[in-house]
Amino acid sequence: MRSLRAIYWLLVCIFAVAALTAQQRPPDVPYVPTPHEVVREMLRVAQVGKEDVVYDLGCGDGRIVIAAVKDFGAKRGVGVDIDPERIRESNENARNAGVTDRVKFLQQDLFETEIRDATVVTLYLLPSINVRLRPKLFRELRPGSRIVSHDFDMCDECEGEGSETCIKGWHPDKVLRVRGPYREHTVYYWVIPAGVAGTWRWSVQTPRGERQYVLTLRQRFQKVMGTISVDGRESPIADARLVGTQLSFSTTRDMGGQKVTMRFSGRVNGDTITGTVEIQGGQFAGKRDWVAKRDKVNLVGTWQWKGGTLRIEQRKGELVAYIGNTPVSDFYAWGSGIYFTLDRAREEVYEGVVDGDQIVGTINGTARWEAQRK
Ligand SMILES: C[S@@+](CC[C@H](N)C(=O)[O-])C[C@H]1O[C@@H](n2cnc3c(N)ncnc32)[C@H](O)[C@@H]1O
């Protein structure tokens, strides 16, 4: 009798552990499938093709990754869902579609899933979940990776009800409206930008000798601002655009009484930009190559200012930040630039560029912020 009871309790324990493992915690978002016509537009706007590895975080019945490999020729698809029922459905749908060799479905929490090999990530979650996921997307995805979200953006604060202009947060690169079977859907599209903040230098040989260029950039997600100086004469840059690793900007200045416009474009690869400049007006009009190198900076350390202390550490090749012993969940490092939300309730956004042992930047885009390395 005692041994029967022991076997009974052993079985109860095994079932309890199996149930817990099967579904670690309740889903953050309920299951609602994306209509097939919206799936098609999501994959079309991301230009999914044969080089792509597509992840759907919260994959439901697997329709997005199945369509990515079957209809758009993606190399691989990975669907992640916390609900075992959804994973069963996804595997069955993949078998029916004949694509089991190119798709994989993982029953796990999307926040715990490594997504480093994704070139495209699709989402149909909720605004708050997208915002929570945002630093992970920046940490793990390579510049140029695309993200598409059905119906929900990545803004902390929008301009107004129904507006797509982010006052705080990550403004989408594109927004589409798609007619579904019952309503109009919205598709948001972003490209992970390269980290370009910092000071870039190069020189150009001219008949009048060598000219020194210094480009100083600040960055907020894909938005880039800054100045360029030629032989010490500084002017603001205009039309700056950063799409993945492709950077372009222009500057217009008066040179010897002539208006000269320089349109720069280049590809960012770590601390190097390689590109061409088109010069209009002046005696050097024409097209030339430029190669810029960024000044090396060290973000790691303890940074102190009147209102607080931020510690930046390197962990497994990634930069992580702490206020005291609490990790800063919404922290980004873009080249020499950092951006973080100190406290969501107080809605304080800190951004700045590291220059030697100093960070110079702003709080909420207006108040000046200066921190020193301790
Ligand atoms: C709105 S449905 C979207 C399904 C699918 N992506 C689509 O567009 O058709 C959201 C899915 O996310 C899953 N989900 C919610 N929280 C999750 C989490 N933390 N980790 C993994 N999956 C999650 C749910 O089980 C659900 O299937």
CATH number of domain containing 41: 3.40.50.150
Residues 286 and 332 in one domain: no
58 lines ligand 1 (CB under 6 A): yes
80 lines ligand 1 (CB under 6 A): yes
Mean pLDDT of all residues in 246-267:
92
**Residue 279 CA, distance from chain mean position:** 32
Would 17 be classed as within a structural domain? no
Task: Answer for the pair 150, 165: CB distance below 8 angstroms, yes or no.
Answer: no
What percentage of the chain carries pLDDT values higher than 70?
92
Mean pLDDT of all residues in 226-248:
95
3-state SS, one letter per residue, for 223-237: EEEEEEEECCEEEEC
Residues 230 and 288 in one domain: yes
Would 68 be classed as within a structural domain? yes
pLDDT for 344 equals: 61
Distance (Å) from CA 32 to ligand 1 centroid: 8
Contacts of 32 (CB under 8 A, 6+ apart): 60, 124
Residue given tokens 């107004």 in the structure block: 160
CA 83 to ligand 1: nearest atom: 25
d(CA 323, CA 307): 11
Distance (Å) from CA 338 to ligand 1 centroid: 31
54 lines ligand 1 (CB under 6 A): no
CA-proximal residue: ligand 1, atom 4 (nearest): 60
pLDDT band at 327 (very low <50, low <70, confident <90, very high): very high
d(CA 152, CA 155): 9
pLDDT band at 99 (very low <50, low <70, confident <90, very high): very high
| Residue 221 pLDDT greater than 50, yes or no | yes
CA-proximal residue: ligand 1, atom 8 (nearest): 34
Residues 92 and 185 in one domain: yes
Contacts of 309 (CB under 8 A, 6+ apart): 302, 303, 323, 324, 374
**Which domain-ending residue is among 234, 259, 294?**
294
Instruction: Please report, for residues 153, 175, 187, the alpha-carbon distance to residue 181 in angstroms, rounded to integers and kept in the order given.
Output: 22, 19, 15
Residues 138 and 260 in one domain: no
Mean pLDDT of all residues in 316-336:
92
d(CA 338, CA 241): 19
Q: Total structural domains in the chain?
A: 3
> What is the pLDDT of the chain when averaged over all its residues?
91
Would 25 be classed as within a structural domain? no
pLDDT for 206 equals: 80
Would 21 be classed as within a structural domain? no
**Which domain-ending residue is among 244, 278, 294?**
294
**Domain residues for 139?**
36-191
Residues 285 and 325 in one domain: no
Q: Are strands 184-191 and 301-305 parallel, antiparallel or unpaired?
A: unpaired
Question: Which residue, among 306, 282, 296, has the nearest Cα to 356 in the 3D structure?
Answer: 296
110 lines ligand 1 (CB under 6 A): yes
Q: Candidates 83, 89, 115: which one to mutate for ligand 1, based on the most atoms within 8 Å of Cβ?
A: 83
CA-proximal residue: ligand 1, atom 26 (nearest): 31
Residues 162 and 239 in one domain: no
Mean pLDDT of all residues in 277-297:
92
pLDDT for 173 equals: 96
Distance (Å) from CA 74 to ligand 1 centroid: 21
Over residues 342-365, the pLDDT tens digits come to: 766 667 899 999 999 999 999 988
| Residue 164 pLDDT greater than 80, yes or no | no
User: Tokens in use for 299?
Assistant: 């973000």
What percentage of the chain carries pLDDT values higher than 90?
78
Distance (Å) from CA 353 to ligand 1 centroid: 37
Mean pLDDT of all residues in 29-46:
98
Residue given tokens 């552990």 in the structure block: 17
CA-proximal residue: ligand 1, atom 2 (nearest): 31
278 lines ligand 1 (CB under 6 A): no
3-state SS, one letter per residue, for the chain: CHHHHHHHHHHHHHHHHHHHHHCCCCCCCCCCCCCHHHHHHHHHHCCCCCCCEEEEECCCCCHHHHHHHHCCCCCEEEEEECCHHHHHHHHHHHHHHCCCCCEEEEECCHHHCCCCCCCEEEECCCHHHHHHHHHHHHHHCCCCCEEEEECCCEEEEECCCCCCCEEEEECCCEEEEEECCCCEEEEEEEECCCCCEEEEEEEEEECCEEEEEEEEEEEECCEEEEEEEECCEEEECEEEEEECCEEEEEEEEEECCEEEEEEEEEEEECCEEEEEEEEECCCCCEEEEEEEEECCCCCCEEEEECCEEEEEEEECCEEEEEECCEECCCEEEEECEEEEECCCCCCCEEEEEEECCEEEEEECCCEEEEEEEC
| Residue 23 pLDDT greater than 60, yes or no | no
Q: Candidates 23, 24, 25, 31: which one to mutate for ligand 1, based on the most atoms within 8 Å of Cβ?
A: 31
| Residue 172 pLDDT greater than 50, yes or no | yes
User: Tokens in use for 331?
Assistant: 């922290």
81 lines ligand 1 (CB under 6 A): yes
| Residue 203 pLDDT greater than 50, yes or no | yes
d(CA 247, CA 165): 22
Would 27 be classed as within a structural domain? no
Beta bridge partners of 266: 247, 275
| Residue 92 pLDDT greater than 70, yes or no | yes
Mean pLDDT of all residues in 265-291:
93
CA-proximal residue: ligand 1, atom 9 (nearest): 33
Q: Candidates 89, 91, 124, 128: which one to mutate for ligand 1, based on the most atoms within 8 Å of Cβ?
A: 124
Residues 83 and 156 in one domain: yes
For residue 288, the domain's CATH number is 2.40.128.120
pLDDT band at 15 (very low <50, low <70, confident <90, very high): very low
Over residues 128-152, the pLDDT tens digits come to: 999 999 999 999 999 999 999 999 9
Would 15 be classed as within a structural domain? no
| Residue 73 pLDDT greater than 60, yes or no | yes
Residues 173 and 211 in one domain: no
Residues 152 and 50 in one domain: yes
pLDDT for 274 equals: 98
pLDDT for 18 equals: 47
Distance (Å) from CA 165 to ligand 1 centroid: 26
| Residue 2 pLDDT greater than 50, yes or no | no
| Residue 166 pLDDT greater than 90, yes or no | no
Select the more confidently predicted residue: 318 or 13.
318
pLDDT band at 58 (very low <50, low <70, confident <90, very high): very high
Residues 150 and 267 in one domain: no
| pTM beyond 0.85, yes or no | yes
pLDDT for 77 equals: 98
Burial of 167 (0-12, 13-18, 19+ CB in 10 A): middle
Would 113 be classed as within a structural domain? yes
Residue given tokens 């199945």 in the structure block: 66
Residues 155 and 73 in one domain: yes
Task: Answer for the pair 127, 152: CB distance below 8 angstroms, yes or no.
Answer: yes
Residues 203 and 246 in one domain: yes
CA 39 to ligand 1: nearest atom: 8
**Which domain-ending residue is among 139, 159, 191?**
191
Would 186 be classed as within a structural domain? yes
Q: Are strands 103-107 and 76-81 parallel, antiparallel or unpaired?
A: parallel
pLDDT for 307 equals: 85
